[in-house]
Amino acid sequence: MEALVTTEWLASELGASDLRIVDATYLAADAGRDAAAEYEAAHIPGAVFMNLAELRDTDTDLPMMLPSAEKFASRMQSLGLGDGSRIVLYDSSPWHTSARAWWMLRTFGAHDVAILDGGLAKWQAEGRETASGKEQLRHRHFTVWADDKGVRTLEQMKANIDTGAEQVLDARSKARFTGEEPDPRPATHAGHIPGSRNLPYDRIFNEDGTWKQGDALRTAFEGTGIDVDKPIALTCGSGITASTLAFGLHLLGKDAALYDGSWSEWGADRSTPKAMGAA
């Protein structure tokens, strides 16, 4: 299974015994939408709902930190996702949150994971079948395992300011990155991590919501001054849209680390340096 699959491919695979389809839509509390309710109203047949709002570390004030490996494995088992599953993720979020689910699954040991190109919008636009209500899948064993080599902490990012061992790429909007627009979180400074570059996450998508690929995707990254062949650490507001950049780099055959605390942590920490203006 490719990392990015088409609606045609998924339609042909529906009903396969090892295939698990997951709606990973996450929406902000003030979005005026209810992701769970939308899932129950219409989802790809067989899909289960992964509640990213709850699939996080609830012992921290930071919004979207990774949960423990045990919590993650337990939630995956209850969704019917387990060892040996081929998992296809989709969403209907403006932030393309299936990429966050993809990054989490890979961090916690799932390897056969893909994203549906164009998501639910493309599936429905093509007149394909949807189901309503909830899907019931039997529990499957998901091995408790975690690999933090692709996760960056506050201390590691502070150290990187001095070493420059990794390029830092920020997925937030230009206005948030430069500090022209204040951060929406209370007591959080505006600006960006010194030395970082900016690639707003929406720049790696086509107008129809599908992912850019090949030269167009590479150009988006390299246009920021980033060398995709050298180590990269990704950041954003809370670790969600940085995941889209991680998946984009994966499509180019590159692995990147992700700073999970992102600006929610860096911007609120008085000990961290902040830069303003363009990179």
* 236: annotated active-site residue: yes
- What Rg do the C-alpha atoms of the chain give, in angstroms? 18
Query: What are the Cα distances from residue 258, in Å, to 14, 100, 118, 171?
Result: 32, 11, 24, 11
Q: From the candidates 105, 232, 236, 240, which is the catalytic residue?
A: 236
Which residues are annotated as catalytic? 236
